[in-house]
Amino acid sequence: MDNRSEVRAFLGSRRAKVTPEQAGIPAYGRRRVSGLRRGEVAALAGVSVEYYTRLERGNLAGVSDSVLDAVARALRLDDTELAHLHHLARAAGAVPARARRVRTPEVRPSIRRVLDSMTGVPAFLRNHRFDILAANPLGMALYAPMFATGAALPVNSMRFTFLDPHAKAFYLDWAQVARSAVAALHIAAAQNPHDQHLVNLIGELSMRSESFRAWWAAQDVYVHRHGTKRFRHPAIGELDLAYEAFELPGDEVLTVLTYSAEPGTPSGDGLELLATWATRNAGITVQAGEQAR
């Protein structure tokens, strides 16, 4: 990815979302642009038009945090968008890291034990590329369509969401899930600008998925730490599950994802049924898990 292009697209898309009325600017006559003009953003941020134009053309190298914060206020960015802007600025001034040989991800035995101890909830371990590095048996049972090929872990959840024909039936709110996934991937890309494998993933999805291309161009960014997802499991039926995301900082930031349901509800009963189904199909799910060990 080109940092300048990302900066240009992000700032331009945010400027187009702010109306003069929202910014407290009188709107006179016909406007040729949606949202604010560059000069209006510059005035609100307290910088010259020429300086802001340079920023929006993608040149964030050396820009101070105070200027970034002022631009963020002018564009009415939320906390996630502000953090994303700062990540883009840091990437603009960073020296590309020397390419390293890619190795098979290693998951500490203690993390595997933690996942396996979560017997009542589906649980996964994911990296910033959305590779599923490990999963407990109930997690593999929940995402049976993603693990259906029996391929060794890691399995990439982005590829499943956008390229697997079963994904739209599996996620009852596929468009919402997919768009949110793209928004999260935008954040990961800004935080890891020199990760060539992440760049390759984005390029692959852009080439093969029209929906991904459209949502990537929208430049939306979200952080997903908790929420609800609705599934249509091929063996269990519909499940409404609450998810939580817990980051594990280290050499590489990893995220533990868990899904749960209120006991006694249809989805709670569905999870219990899923556990029974997982036991009956242990040969399938364990085989995929063992290949990753």
- The answer to whether the CB of 3 falls within 8 A of the CB of 91 is yes
Mean pLDDT estimate for the chain: 88
Percent of the chain predicted with pLDDT > 90? 71
The vertex-108 CA angle with 103 and 110, nearest 5°, equals 170
Instruction: State the Cα–Cα distance between residues 137 and 67, nearest whole angstrom.
Output: 49
Q: Look up the pTM and report it.
A: 0.85
Structure-block tokens of residue 138: 């109930």
Whether residue 286 is predicted with pLDDT greater than 50 in this model: the reply is no
Structure-block tokens of residue 84: 């994303």
Q: Which residue has the higher pLDDT, 116 or 31?
A: 116
pLDDT per residue as tens digits for the range 10-50:
999 999 999 998 999 887 767 777 799 999 999 999 999 99
Q: Which residue has the higher pLDDT, 253 or 265?
A: 265
Q: Which residue ranges form the domains of the chain, and what is each CATH number?
A: 3-93 (1.10.260.40), 109-291 (3.30.450.180)
Over range 103-109, report the average pLDDT: 72
Res 1: pLDDT: 64
Whether residue 139 is predicted with pLDDT greater than 80 in this model: the reply is yes
Among residues 51, 71, 63, 70, the alpha carbon closest in space to that of 10 is found at 71
Q: HEC states along the chain? A: CCHHHHHHHHHHHHHHHCCHHHHCCCCCCCCCCCCCCHHHHHHHHCCCHHHHHHHHCCCCCCCCHHHHHHHHHHCCCCHHHHHHHHHHHHHHHCCCCCCCCCCCCCCCHHHHHHHHHCCCCCEEEECCCCEEEEECHHHHHHCCCCCCCCCCCCEEHHHHHHHCCCHHHHECCHHHHHHHHHHHHHHHHHHCCCCHHHHHHHHHHHHHCHHHHHHHHHCCCCCCCEEEEEEEECCCEEEEEEEEEEEECCCCCEEEEEEECCCCCHHHHHHHHHHHHHHHCHHHHHHHHHHCC
